[in-house]
Amino acid sequence: MKKVISFGEALIDFVPTENGFPLSQVEKFKRAPGGAPANVAVAVAKLGGNSYFAGKVGDDSFGYFLASVFKEHGVHTDYLIFSMEAKTGLAFVSLKDDGERDFLFYRNPSADLLFSAEEVKHSWFEEGGIFHFGSNTLTSPVCKEATIKGVQLAKKAGLLISFDPNIRLSLWHAAEEARNGICSLLSAVDILKVSEEECQFLMETKDEREAANRLLGKGVSLVIVTKGREGATYYTKEISGEIPIPCVEVVDTTGAGDAFVGGLLYQLSLSDINKRNIDVLLGDRDRLEFMIRFSNICGGITVTGRGAIPSLPTIEEVYKLLTN
């Protein structure tokens, strides 16, 4: 089983106890561990994978709470750093009746933004495996350098590189800065997971196939576009297809995309696929579609509960739906 490193932010989501209210009208929140890469790390671990989280939290109650959550779910915390300079990041979330979200972030700066390039170690990558990252660590100069170094070391060491931009434009100074910053790293990426909206934003077109072809042209090997209730579509230079998602009652969509990524990385960690032979997977429709169907089910289960990490599935829950 290959090692999976999830790099980036871990923070606290405060999610409402009831849907249907804007943030200004929410009266009660429930604390939930979050941050997209943190969610992915737990998703991999809950499925039974060899999961590591690399990031920085505050040397405070919330930071130690996040560390305890990682350990509880089997995520290795060897690469988790505690900062005395800043507090753990917070995000307040409101939920519409359909489970869609609105965010308000408190990170000026939060500890995750202070993860530095000097703290990214060569030794992390010596065992090979998979490196996963997002774009929120590109929004601040210090952690941007750390992210770029992580990508470069992973590429040099021959790790599969997975990228889920998980774009939050409110964290960037301008939309064009976000687009340019994200696209600048695509040449190093093997697997790119984007939402429909992110796909359109990055390639500035509503034609999904055209956008996917442009992304493949930038060096990405596999593009997966997640579409909520409509499942996911995938594109390689050889094949493409659509994979449905199970019909479930949506409570909170927080973490659905992270659960999808976690499911995919877990499947890849079990396989013989690596950076050097990824072409074997890219042309194997049955194998690739099984992995994406598995990942869709991970996302579908997650939306049935409140908060991301508490709702991520176990392998038993996934296979129960997969075999129905």
CATH class of the 3-322 domain in this structure: alpha beta
Quote the pLDDT of residue 99.
55
CA dist 215 and 12 (Å) reads: 32
Chain mean pLDDT for the chain: 93
Round to whole Å and give the CA distance between 19 and 300: 18
- Confidence band for 211, pLDDT divided at 50, 70 and 90: very high
Res. 30 pLDDT band, cuts 50 70 90:
confident
Range 16-33 burial, b when 16+ CB lie within 10 A, else e: beebeeeeeebeeeeebb
Amino acid at 270: L
Q: Could you give the CA distance from residue 195 to residue 273 in angstroms, rounded to a whole number?
A: 24
- Cβ neighbour number for residue 315 with a 10 Å cutoff: 16
Burial 44-69 (b: 16+ CB within 10 A, else e): bbbbebbbbbbbbbbbeebbeebbeb
> What are residue 122's phi and psi, to 5 degrees?
-60, -35
pLDDT band with cut points at 50, 70 and 90 for residue 253: confident
Task: Provide mean pLDDT across the span 15-34.
Answer: 82
The stretch 221-235 carries a mean pLDDT of 95
Residue 99 phi/psi, 5-degree rounding, is 90, -5
Q: How far from chain centre, in Å, is Cα 101?
A: 16
The structure's pTM equals 0.94
CA distance 248 to 246: 6
Bridge partner residues of 104 (DSSP): 92
**What confidence score (pLDDT) does residue 101 get?**
63
**Rounded distance between C-alpha atoms, residue 174 and residue 170, angstroms:** 8
Each residue's pLDDT tens digit, 57-81: 999 999 999 999 999 999 999 999 9
pLDDT beyond 90 at 247: no
Query: What are the residue ranges spanned by the domains of the chain?
Result: 3-322
